[in-house]
Structure 1
Amino acid sequence: MTTPGEGWKTPELRAAEAQVDARFKQAQDLANRLRDTPLPPVPPVDFAAIARQVERAAQERDAPEQLKALKRKVDAGEFTWEDVVSGKAAQDPDVQAMQQENVNKMKQAFQMLREGMAADEIMAAQDPRRHRDDGDENPPDVFTEDKW
C-alpha cells in the first residue's frame, strides 16, 4: 500500500492500514454473499387478530393507563384498534406513549436476561398479578364475599 509521499508512515500505521483493508474486503465479501442469499418470504401479519387481543386487554379493569387512553380514543372513533397495531395511528401521542412503555419493558427484560433471570421470573417481575400466591385473581384491594 506504499505510494509516493507516504514515507512518513510508521510500520505500525502501515500494519493498521493493512488490517483495515483486510476487514473492509471481508465486509464487502460478506455483503456480496448476503445480497445473493434469498430470504424466506415474510408471512402476512394478522393485524385484526392482534387488534382483538389489544382490545380485550384494554377492557381489563387493571389495564395500563396508556392503554385506557387509547381505548377512549378508539371508543370516540378517532381510530381503530387495527390502526393502532398496524402503525396507521403511530403519530398519535397516546400511541407513542404506549409504544415507549413497551420499549421500556423490553429494555428492562433484556437487562434481566443479561443478569441471568429466567423468562418466567422476568414475566412475574413485570406483571405483579402473575406472582400473587393467594389464589385470588382479583387485586388485593378488591373485596369479594370470599374475602370477608
Structure 2
Amino acid sequence: MTSQFDPEAWKTPQVRAAEAKMASSMSQAKELLKELEKLKPPPPVGISEADVAQLAEAAKKADAPAELRELAKKVDGGALSWRDVLEGKAYDDPDVRRALTAQLGEARELFQQFEEGYTLDDVIEARRAAEESQDEDGSGTTFLR
C-alpha cells in the first residue's frame, strides 16, 4: 500500500491563517472593484466661451497678478490659448503653473484660517473689514492673524 502525499502538510497554522486572511482580503478587493465599476465618472466640466472671456478680461485688468499678465502675453503671442489653460491642457507650461500657483495663495490663507478654528462668519467679517479699510486708506491688510 502506498501512502498519499499531502502537499499542504508543510503549512504551519500561521501560514494557514495568513492564507485565509489573504483570501478574505482578495474577496473584499474583488467586491470593491465591482462597486467601483458601477460608479459613473462625473461628466467633464464644460468650459464655455464666457469662461474663456472672463479669464482673458481678468488678465487684462490693471490689478491682475503679474503672473497672469505674463501669461496673457504668451496667449496674445499665440503660444497657447485661454481655453487650453482652463482645460488643463497647458499645465505643462511653467508660466501657466506659475500663474495658477500664485492664485492658490488666497485659498491657502482661507484654508489655514479654517484650520485655526475661525468660522466662516469670522472669515467673511474680517475680509469685509479689510476691504472697507482698503477703500478708506488703501492698505487693506487687516485679515485674521
Normalising by structure 1, report the TM-score.
Answer: 0.62
Shift of 1:94: 0.1
Partner of 2:11: 6
The gaps in structure 1 that reach 5 residues or longer are 142-148
Normalising by structure 2, report the TM-score.
Answer: 0.62
The gaps in structure 2 that reach 5 residues or longer are 1-6, 141-145
- Percent pairwise identity: 33
Shift of 1:93: 1.4
Superposed CA RMSD in Å reads: 3.9
Amino acid at match of 1:69: E
Partner of 2:73: 72
Is 2:87 aligned against 1:82? no
Shift of 1:131: 3.1
Bigger radius of gyration? 2
Shift of 1:136: 1.7
Q: Cα–Cα, structure 1 residues 88 and 120, in superposed 2: closer, same or farther, change >3 Å?
A: farther
Partner of 2:131: 132
Q: Separation in 2 of the partners of 1:59 and 1:138?
A: 25
State the number of aligned residues: 134
